[in-house]
Amino acid sequence: MNALIESLRAVVGPAHVLTESADLVPYCADWRGRYRGEAVCVVRPATTAETAEVVRLCAAAGTAVVPQGGNTGLCGGATPRGGEVIVSLARLNRVRAVDADNNAITVEAGCTLLQVQEAAAAAERLFPLSLAAEGTATIGGNLSTNAGGVQVLRYGNARELTLGLEVVLPDGRIWNGLRALRKDNTGYDLKHLFIGAEGTLGLVTAAVLKLFPLPRAAATAWAVVREPAAAVALLGRLRAAAGDRVTAFEIVGRPALDLVLRHIPNARDPLPGGHAWQVLIELTDALAGSDLEGVLESVLGEAIEAGDVADVAIARSEAQVSELWRLRENVAEAQKHEGLAIKHDVSVPVSRIAEFIARADAALAQAFPGVRIVCFGHIGDGNLHYNQSQTAAVANAAFLAATPEVNRIVHDLVHELGGSISAEHGLGQLKRDEVLRYKDAVEMDLMRAVKRAIDPAGLMNPGKVL
């Protein structure tokens, strides 16, 4: 192993091969603190060529590789299990090109999501992928988990935002698929194998991403809804009136909001009164003169008359918009203050969201009296973050031991309703075995066949996904 480390140092420089225990600690634990592992070393290449040589050396030594970006994942997908080399792509952080006429940007995998957004904005364009962790999460990680975020409703997941990829394969070869084309019908669209694969087939080192016109008009509101079914009805009204100008539609349950109000400094309830359910709505348009506030007010007025909406706060300034989004984006951070929870990142058809929440809430309350259910998420695309814990820390450790039983209640219902047990966080270590209960056997065989064909030695991020 010392020979491998010396070879890696010769490629990237001694300063960028970390071997001391104290230096490895931040790379060997996940963001939630649920998974911890051990690594031979952390290697930080600065170019695609260096990354390829690092992977080639590891393959020759028979040493597994764990790719890592901002390490903001929630399923242990970027955490080593023991004996691997962590390849941190954080130094591959250049914006290679912005082609405003083609509405495309070429970036390296270590660019943070915020960096890409800012580069697009400098060219008067929008890169719409938006996450709470966008200041830390990197594009490589976003693509590897097919990240979603708050604007999927209008723009789609990371997969829909990608035109081309550059990937280092498990043997160290480089596949240059950095094509900035909307139409290219010359065979298998290989980029889709690597998007959502969580680094198990190769290391994404760069990508060509789609850009869009900058929004010139926007309207944002926080509304109290009677129940989740009323939120779905409101979404329908908005889409009928505003079409694809409905950019985001987020739901926040009372326990989620209470955590934010308790733990996030300067958080303020826009509509005090202890309401059970609220939604955050955003409309945007590239036309500066669009009367989006008028459209929003009209639809919300109709919903109030119908009894679906009880109260509304419409943001009248950028500061108020930011305050509303802070409430939604800090739910995960607020929950982290109260320790581990049993977390679910699930999706069901939008038409089944209300049924899922009602049935899952009832089943969990019966099985675990006093359970706290923190429900929030992207109701516009059917993706809920549905988390459980006990309010008393002393009771939570025992509750966490019941994770398999809780998962069975939640995931079986998701499957029954035609949903997925992982909407945007991936499988990682957390759901690698769980997915076998729900995936079709033929589908699993096909996934394993792809893995064997591309990574026959099984050295790319082992123990994740499959």
Q: Are strands 65-68 and 84-88 parallel, antiparallel or unpaired?
A: parallel
pLDDT at residue number 132: 83
Cα 17 from Cα 144, distance rounded (Å) = 23
Element (H, E) at 8: helix 2-12
Cα 276 from Cα 376, distance rounded (Å) = 12
Is residue 317 exposed (0-12), middle (13-18) or buried (19+ Cβ within 10 Å)?
Answer: exposed
Laid out side by side, the sheet with 246-253 consists of 309-314, 217-225, 277-285, 246-253, 372-378, 383-389, 345-347
Q: Which two tokens stand for residue 303?
A: 């919903």
**Sign of the torsion angle spanned by Cα atoms 110, 427, 165, 131:** negative
pLDDT at residue number 396: 80
Cα 205 from Cα 108, distance rounded (Å) = 6
Q: Which domains does the chain have, with CATH numbers?
A: 2-88 (3.30.43.10), 95-213 (3.30.465.10), 217-333 (3.30.70.2190), 338-423+432-441 (3.30.70.2740)
3-state secondary structure of 34: coil
As beta bridge partners, residue 210 has 104
**Sign of the torsion angle spanned by Cα atoms 205, 208, 210, 215:** positive
Cα 43 from Cα 87, distance rounded (Å) = 5
Laid out side by side, the sheet with 84-88 consists of 17-18, 39-43, 84-88, 65-68
DSSP letter at 164 equals E
Cα 79 from Cα 87, distance rounded (Å) = 11
Position 235, amino acid = L
pLDDT at residue number 417: 98
Work out the angle between the directed axes of helices 254-263 and 318-329 (0-180°, nearest 10): 110
DSSP letter at 138 equals B
pLDDT at residue number 292: 96
Q: Compute CA distances 16 → 1, 24, 86, 136, 461, whole Å.
A: 17, 12, 12, 20, 20
N- to C-terminal Cα separation, the chain: 26
Cα 375 from Cα 328, distance rounded (Å) = 11
pLDDT at residue number 363: 98
pLDDT at residue number 240: 96
Q: Under a CB-based contact definition with an 8 Å cutoff, are residues 249 and 151 in contact?
A: no
DSSP letter at 342 equals B
What phi and psi, each to the nearest 5 degrees, are found at residue 372?
-100, 125
pLDDT at residue number 391: 82
Cα 209 from Cα 151, distance rounded (Å) = 15
Q: Under a CB-based contact definition with an 8 Å cutoff, are residues 230 and 271 in contact?
A: no
C-alpha neighbours within 13 Å on the C-beta side of residue 43: 29
Cα 456 from Cα 444, distance rounded (Å) = 16
Q: Which two tokens stand for residue 451?
A: 């893995």
C-alpha neighbours within 13 Å on the C-beta side of residue 110: 16
pLDDT at residue number 6: 96
What phi and psi, each to the nearest 5 degrees, are found at residue 281?
-120, 140
Cα 231 from Cα 224, distance rounded (Å) = 9
Cα 372 from Cα 338, distance rounded (Å) = 12
pLDDT at residue number 35: 85
Cα 112 from Cα 123, distance rounded (Å) = 17
Q: Which two tokens stand for residue 211?
A: 């850009």
**Sign of the torsion angle spanned by Cα atoms 143, 156, 424, 446:** negative
Closest CA to 117 of 139, 150, 86, 96: 139
Cα 419 from Cα 346, distance rounded (Å) = 7
What phi and psi, each to the nearest 5 degrees, are found at residue 207?
-150, 150
pLDDT at residue number 392: 76
3-state secondary structure of 451: helix
Cα 161 from Cα 178, distance rounded (Å) = 13
Digits of tens for pLDDT over the chain (466 positions)? 689 999 999 999 999 999 999 999 999 998 877 889 999 999 999 999 999 999 999 999 999 999 999 998 888 899 999 999 999 999 999 999 999 999 999 999 999 999 999 999 999 999 999 988 899 999 999 999 999 989 999 999 999 999 999 999 999 999 999 999 999 999 999 999 999 999 999 999 999 999 999 999 999 999 999 999 999 999 999 999 999 999 999 999 999 999 999 999 999 999 999 999 999 999 999 999 899 999 999 999 999 999 999 999 999 999 999 999 999 999 989 988 888 889 999 999 999 999 999 999 999 999 999 999 999 999 999 999 999 998 876 778 788 899 999 999 999 999 999 999 999 999 999 899 999 999 999 999 999 999 999 999 999 999 999 9
Position 221, amino acid = A
